[in-house]
Amino acid sequence: MNAPYPWLAASWQHLLATRRRPAQALLLAGPCGVGKSALAQAWAQTLLCEAPLPDSAACGSCAACHWFEAGTHPDFHAVTLQEKTTKEGDTRMATAIEVDQAREAVDFVRLSTYRAGHRVVLVNPADALNVASANALLKVLEEPPLNTVFVLVSDQPRRLLPTIRSRCARFDIGLPPVGLAADWLTGQGVDDAMNLLALAGGSPLVAQGWGSTELDERRGVLEGLARPDRLDPVTLGERWKAVSPQTWHNVVYKWLGDLLAVKLQGEVRFNRDFADVLGQLGKQADLAGLLALAKMQAAEGRTLTHPLNRSLQLQAWLIQYRHVFD
């Protein structure tokens, strides 16, 4: 078994070197979209494999590997966000790992192992543990039973309780080198990999996740924002109310970030395909107005919901945006 992604090769070798004496609580930390989840899965499989290869990696063909790949290995337990049904009957992803899930994991590690090898508990995303579930888990993290390995995965390790963090051996995964990530994206059939990678803040899996609908919507929004002098808030508010709040937020937040970067440092970070127009607008923009908009956008990002009157909200935003260039 190789590293799940080419940029993880060194991290993977580093983990494999610890297979004989693995950390009992490992925290895989790093930005979103760099392959931490895949690395954690590969590591769990490797710990459970009953016929590891000479380099210590999972063989992919023993009974344990087959069970793992089928999601049925009895000594593996995953704790993750679950789908919930709302009162209205919609299914939504929960925003926290509940205390019952943590208690199940605690019960699991107190059983004896089925296969007399390791027992692995994966907690992903660990930053979704709430105080109650983190405290429940802490009891077993403090003194893990023999042969038990916890793997915690986190984009935002600072959100973990300090007591949890201090129990874990931390292993950081950074953003991959741009060239390596761009080559991989190109190999996955992504056009314009460099641009997309910049747009995704350097994260290859985030870049890969941008679908063609989102890319078209992004272009539509940016073409509107690129001409503040011609922008008609009423027409655009109506047109853009169909864009998902998440996409809108991502696109606008990066656009404002670029305008600020041009103004303060003279360079575009995300939207390189709009570099010329950003260069012009950045010079023209009022710094205080831009900062106010960016602050508003950051606040919106924390509560991404669909308001009752989306087009009115967009119109108000667009009027404020237009004033930045008056």
Cβ atoms of residues 210 and 199 within 8 Å = yes
- Letter for the amino acid at 281? L
Determine the Cα–Cα distance for residues 198 and 200; give it in Å rounded to an integer: 5
Stretch that binds Zn ion, among 15-23, 59-67, 174-182, 252-260 (CB under 5 A): 59-67
Beta carbon nearer to Zn ion, 69 or 192: 69
Beta carbon nearer to Zn ion, 22 or 224: 22
Determine the Cα–Cα distance for residues 288 and 326; give it in Å rounded to an integer: 13
Q: Does 48 bind Zn ion (CB under 5 A)?
A: no
Write a three-state SS string for 146-165: CCEEEEEEECCHHHCCHHHH
Beta carbon nearer to Zn ion, 45 or 101: 45
Q: H helices of the chain, where?
A: 9-16, 36-48, 63-70, 99-110, 131-142, 162-167, 178-187, 193-199, 204-209, 212-225, 233-240, 245-265, 275-284, 287-302, 310-323
CB of 65 to Zn ion, least distance (A): 3
Q: Does 69 bind Zn ion (CB under 5 A)?
A: no
Beta carbon nearer to Zn ion, 48 or 236: 48
Stretch that binds Zn ion, among 53-61, 112-120, 202-210, 238-246 (CB under 5 A): 53-61
Determine the Cα–Cα distance for residues 232 and 123; give it in Å rounded to an integer: 48
CB of 217 to Zn ion, least distance (A): 44
Beta carbon nearer to Zn ion, 59 or 261: 59
Cβ atoms of residues 184 and 208 within 8 Å = no
Stretch that binds Zn ion, among 42-50, 195-203, 259-267, 285-293 (CB under 5 A): 42-50
Q: Which residues pair with 83 in a beta bridge?
A: 93
Neighbours of 109 (CB within 10 A): 21
Q: Does 260 bind Zn ion (CB under 5 A)?
A: no
Stretch that binds Zn ion, among 36-44, 60-68, 108-116, 186-194 (CB under 5 A): 60-68
CB of 76 to Zn ion, least distance (A): 13
Beta carbon nearer to Zn ion, 120 or 199: 120
How many residues of this chain bind Zn ion (CB under 5 A)?
Answer: 5
Structure-block tokens of residue 223: 């073409």
Q: Does 49 bind Zn ion (CB under 5 A)?
A: yes
CB of 68 to Zn ion, least distance (A): 8
Q: Does 65 bind Zn ion (CB under 5 A)?
A: yes
Beta carbon nearer to Zn ion, 70 or 288: 70
CB of 113 to Zn ion, least distance (A): 16
Q: From the list 23, 32, 62, 99, which residue makes contact with Zn ion (rule: CB under 5 A)?
A: 62
120: enclosing H helix or E strand: strand 119-123
Determine the Cα–Cα distance for residues 27 and 240; give it in Å rounded to an integer: 40
**Short-list 290, 293, 284, CA closest to 326:** 284
Q: From the list 23, 32, 38, 59, which residue makes contact with Zn ion (rule: CB under 5 A)?
A: 59
Task: Provide the CB-side half-sphere exposure for 261 (13 A, CA).
Answer: 14
Stretch that binds Zn ion, among 49-57, 144-152, 203-211, 275-283 (CB under 5 A): 49-57
Which chain residues interact with Zn ion by CB under 5 A? 49, 58-59, 62, 65
